């Protein structure tokens, strides 16, 4: 059965997050934004059980998140962090890491993965130390994509990159969302970026959801003083 | 046999303390108190252990040896635990590890007739094995903690890609073991060339022929090498799990900036 609701948060508490109640639908591209310390990254890690709520429940496709195998869930709900955090070795070593854990690596996949993040195929044998910051972040994205995730959690993946590289990464993400139907859940500080990539926005402050809804509406017509202040 | 050091000669050792003491005073290093205290403490400790050993050597082997080994392993466990501060069950794990490692080494020595089961042979030899194992466990624990801290991002990445804790920790385990074992391999390579090992020096000064001294030194050096390797591997493999909870999540992590 196809569940329209991808994630449902039911009274979820996890310091510094207070009581969170919201749902994310399939195909929503959700932008999480708000001031530092609002709990954005903490929230992001709850989606693939890198941490668990202190109270409340999270449902994925209608079933309690706790009922899934953790490793399978993490493959399906991938994460790209602010820093690339590549493993020592070559680009190829990094790309095959996830699939190899479950004996699912197919070497023919490697070039397609690099193409997806707009890197040339001859990068496969390069040591990750030789790559620029932008290239490392692309490899990090490709490494997560190697697991074929249906949801991609992104924790400010472009905050350390220049404008040009940021735009290129955004194109890749847009392509994934549109062509492959990957749902993006992304923490970002940049409202412009949120507008470009998101369809839905969640504005957090002090561990609480202050406003949420259609992103364009949210940003064109902020109802709370907090969001108005954040936008200026 | 070399001449015995008289108590009078021993008094002149004070000169060796006066040199660093004068330097500290002259350059205002503020170490005078520390130098005095550690010299006096060290002297008292050594004499105390000398008298204790004299007493133990006179006891029957089956009493003196277990008694002294228990003390040594207990003290070593408490000392190594300091390096693993904050990790649960670390004292018990070190204690058991030291018993097993010392027990195995001692068993092999006796099995292959390398030493006699007498306090004057077992206690000093075991002291070296236990002491070195203690240092190896302490270093491995320290390294393990710093590797986990430094590689928090990579570990999170590995877990998020579907790795189990054992798989995610692979790089850290390799690095910790490498760091613990490489100095010992190097030490073994230059043994006898850079400095004569302590035990061999002692035996030669005591009048034993250099070849006999080397035989003993080989037994102890290779035993230490093996014990140190085992200690590092044991403590690393036992402790890395404690950095995760049973939900394959890293413990004590602050995710928000």
Note down the domain range covering A219: 5-231
Say how many domains are in chain A: 1
Whether residue A57 lies within 8 A of chain B, CB to CB, comes out as no
- Enumerate residues 141 to 160 of chain B having a beta carbon within 8 A of any beta carbon in chain A: 153-154, 156-160
- A192, A203 contact by CB (below 8 A): no
Residue closest to B106 by CA, chosen among B127, B120, B122, B95: B122
Put simply, whether B171 touches A (Cβ < 8 Å) is yes
Q: What is the DSSP string of A68-111?
A: S-HHHHHHHEEEE-SS--PPSSBHHHHHHHHHHHTT---TTHHH
- C-alpha angle B169-B175-B176 in degrees, rounded to nearest 5: 85
A25 phi, psi to nearest 5 deg? -95, 155
Interface predicted TM-score (ipTM): 0.94
Minimum Cα–Cα distance from A16: chain B residue: B256
> Up-side HSE of residue A80: CA atoms within 13 Å toward CB?
27
What confidence tens digit (pLDDT) does each residue in A51-109 have? 999 999 999 999 999 999 999 999 999 999 999 999 999 999 999 999 999 888 988 89
- Mutant choice from A45, A64, A95 vs B, greatest count of B C-beta within 10 A: A45
Domain at A224, CATH number: 3.40.50.300
- The confidence score (pLDDT) of residue B182 equals 87
Q: Is the dihedral of CA B184, B185, B190, B192 positive or negative?
A: positive
Which of B153, B168, B256, B257 is the best substitution to test chain A (most A C-beta atoms within 10 A)?
Answer: B256
Asked whether the beta carbons of A227 and A203 are under 8 A apart, the reply is: yes
Q: Is A71 in the B-facing interface, judged by CB distances under 8 Å? A: yes
Q: What is the pLDDT of residues A154-194, one digit of tens each?
A: 999 998 888 999 999 999 999 999 988 999 999 998 899 99
Q: Is B188 on the interface with A (CB under 8 A)?
A: no
pLDDT of residue A2: 59
């Amino acid at each position: 059965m196809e569940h329209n609701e991808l994630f449902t948060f039911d009274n979820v508490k996890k310091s510094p997050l207070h009581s969170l109640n919201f749902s994310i639908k399939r195909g929503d591209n959700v932008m999480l934004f708000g001031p530092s310390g609002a709990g954005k990254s903490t929230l992001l890690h709850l989606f693939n059980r890198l941490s668990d709520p202190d109270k409340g429940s999270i449902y994925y496709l209608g079933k309690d998140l706790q009922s899934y195998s953790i490793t399978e869930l993490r493959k399906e709900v991938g994460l790209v962090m602010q820093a690339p955090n590549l493993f020592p070795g070559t680009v190829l070593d990094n790309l095959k890491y996830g699939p190899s854990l479950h004996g699912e690596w197919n070497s023919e996949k490697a070039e397609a993965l690099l193409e997806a993040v707009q890197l040339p195929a001859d990068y496969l044998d390069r040591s990750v130390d030789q790559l620029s910051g932008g290239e490392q972040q692309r490899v990090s994205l490709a490494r997560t994509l190697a697991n074929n995730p249906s949801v991609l959690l992104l924790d400010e993946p472009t905050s350390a990159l220049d404008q040009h590289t940021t735009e290129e990464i955004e194109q890749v993400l847009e392509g994934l969302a549109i062509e492959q139907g990957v749902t993006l859940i992304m923490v970002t500080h940049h409202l412009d970026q949120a507008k470009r990539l998101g369809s839905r926005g969640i504005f957090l402050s002090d561990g609480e959801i202050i406003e949420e809804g259609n992103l364009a509406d949210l940003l064109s017509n902020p109802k709370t003083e907090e969001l108005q202040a954040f936008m200026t | 046999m070399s001449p015995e050091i008289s108590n009078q000669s021993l008094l002149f050792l004070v000169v060796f303390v006066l040199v660093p003491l004068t330097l500290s005073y002259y350059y205002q290093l503020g170490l005078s108190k520390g130098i005095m205290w550690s010299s006096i403490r060290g002297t008292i400790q050594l004499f105390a252990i000398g008298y204790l050993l004299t007493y133990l050597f006179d006891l029957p082997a089956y009493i003196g040896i277990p008694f002294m080994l228990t003390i040594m392993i207990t003290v070593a466990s408490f000392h190594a635990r300091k390096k693993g501060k904050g990790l649960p069950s670390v004292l018990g794990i070190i204690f058991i590890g030291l018993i097993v490692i010392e027990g195995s080494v001692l068993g092999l020595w006796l099995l292959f007739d390398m030493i006699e089961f007498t306090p004057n042979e077992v206690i000093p030899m075991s002291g070296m094995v236990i002491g070195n194992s203690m240092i190896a466990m302490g270093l491995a624990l320290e390294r393990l903690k710093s590797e986990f801290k430094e590689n928090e991002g990579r570990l999170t990445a590995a877990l998020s890609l579907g790795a189990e804790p054992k798989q995610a920790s692979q790089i850290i385990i390799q690095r910790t073991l490498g760091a613990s074992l490489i100095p010992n391999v190097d030490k073994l390579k230059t043994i006898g060339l850079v400095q004569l090992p302590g035990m061999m020096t002692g035996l030669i000064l005591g009048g034993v022929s250099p070849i006999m001294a080397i035989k003993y030194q080989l037994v102890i050096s290779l035993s230490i090498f093996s014990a140190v390797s085992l200690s590092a591997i044991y403590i690393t493999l036992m402790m890395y799990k404690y950095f995760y909870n049973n939900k394959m999540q890293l413990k004590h992590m602050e995710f928000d900036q």
